A and B are shown apart, each in its own frame.
Chain A
Amino acid sequence: MINYPEALKNAAKSMVRFKNPDNLLRMIVRFIAKEIGLTHASILVFDTVRQRYTFIDSRGESKLPVHLIRIDSDHPLILSFMGKGKKPHLYKDALLLSHLEKFVESKESSRGIKIKKVFDSMKSIKASVCVPSFYQGELLGVLILGEKKDRDDFTHEELSFFHTLASDAAMTIKNTEFQSQLIDRNRQLEEKLAEIKRLRKKEQETYFQIMLSLAREVREKDDSTFGHLEAVEKLGLMTAEELGIDLSGKKRDILIAGLRLHDVGKIGIPDSILKKEDKLTPEEWLIMKQHVDKGVKILEPLTDFKDVVEIVRCHHEFYNGKGYPRGLKGSEIPIESSIVSVVDAFHAMISTRCYKKGFSLEYALGELNANSGEQFHPKVVEAFISALKKNMYGYYKSRISEERQIQHEEKPNTI
């Protein structure tokens, strides 16, 4: 005799193992046919693609031809399992041929005709009992079982065992389906996210490139000094390294972008002010100062480069708090902005522009020192001079002496 609770426990354990539900169903069918001694055990499973029921497997001496027959969703046998709303259906747990036989004999009503059809179909597929596999009202499959070899009736215990087995199988089928759907959806989602990320990055990079060429244009428009941005970038990086600032990963790019883009807002300043050789009037000076906010506005869409925007926003703040636009001081100002401010001022001083000759290196360094702790961050000035002496002093010295040096008495314009 079979220990049904034990058999169920084992079956439940095996269900966890199967990745492909078909294998599980085959196992169930084999188990039933062999252990319970049936003429055949077969299983019908709903084919979600073709929307019909097909045989997955059939075992036993009078097994069914699995490739020959299918059962459509509207077949009376299938419909007999579907409750028709009014009351829980008669055959919810199992459909027994012996049970139907009584109805077939006794009734000639329309219900009787339907039952006769089911009865005939069960005979066609040599079924003594049909056990539905439901999952949340969905008929996923049907266990089709032949008669016992000893021709005994099925016991209540056996029927309840089949019923539990069929429900567990349905759950397993659904679980595997859900799992594969979930995996599928996750993969699709990941692909989409990656695509969005890629596009966004590309967009940001494109925008960034536009900003860079814009910055170059501004600089050319401003003082036609070729190579100012490149020089500012080189000097700025040098200073940052001297200061021991962490330039790993994106940080290096952020600093470079800040160095290159700090004056991008000048694109919005009229040429009459930008190129004015005389001193600016207080009104003109106010307009000139707007280049910081304009730069911030231009760069704001670059959400990947938020730190760059911050560098640009603060590059005219003074260490002593007397700068603009916000009057930040000391450590309130990002160190990168302080670097931009020092190297930009330095390079502006030594450069020859259309309206002035460049100052000498000594003069420029003297100015930086004189304004250290006032306009400029003292540590940045210190690091800048030290780095310059280490790396590029010779280069600037010789370059500047080649140009005709004129000592200017007035303070240079360090916008």
Chain B
Amino acid sequence: MLKLLVVDDEEEICDFLRIFFEERNFKVSTALSGEEALRKVEVEQPDVCLLDIKMPGLDGIQVLKEVKRRYPKIKVIMVTAIETTEKIEEAVRIGADNYITKPLSLEYLEKDVHQKISDVA
């Protein structure tokens, strides 16, 4: 069973994705901030991290740097709003393994995302 860490400062997003992926046989934990994410990464050692770029405090880019520095094996998929796509390039340079943009189409979420996660892992 793949271990997935969902990081987003919006609680509904975390809850939604947790339920969504649990129903598809992932082991999911969530973090509402960059700081919490780093703690959970250390404790839980997830296979894949779904990481929102825009967050108050430590943002997704900073978390990505730290995760990749400490645990290069953990795969990271960035999640970003369409308006902040320019951050994607930076994330990929730092070592992000893939990215998805919000709002995701429901169909994409249902058909492709867990495939993307499995591929990465």
Contacts and interface: CB of A to CB of B under 8 A. Distances in A.
B16 A65 contact: yes
Given A69-B109, A124-B20, A63 B12 contact: yes
A130 B44 CA distance: 38
B84 to A, nearest CB: 12
Interface residues of B, number: 18
Contact of B103 (A70, A124, A126): A70
Given A62-B15, A65-B12, A52 B105 contact: yes
B12 A70 contact: no
Among B17, B23, B105, which residue has the most Cβ atoms of chain A within 10 A? B105
Contact of A65 (B13, B23, B81, B105): B13
B36 interface: no
B interface secondary structure, majority: helix
A375 to B, nearest CB: 84
A124 B105 contact: no
Interface string B69-103: 00000000000010000000000000000000011
A269 interface: no
B106 A125 contact: yes
A241 to B, nearest CB: 70
B110 A120 contact: yes
A177 to B, nearest CB: 22
Contacts of A123: 23
Contact of B102 (A63, A67, A75, A124): A67
9 contacts: A65-B16, A67-B102, A68-B103, A69-B16, A69-B103, A69-B105, A72-B107, A75-B106, A124-B109
Given A63-B12, A68-B13, A75-B107, 5 more contacts: A68-B104, A69-B16, A70-B105, A71-B107, A125-B106
Interface of A: 52, 54, 58, 62-72, 75, 77, 120-121, 123-126
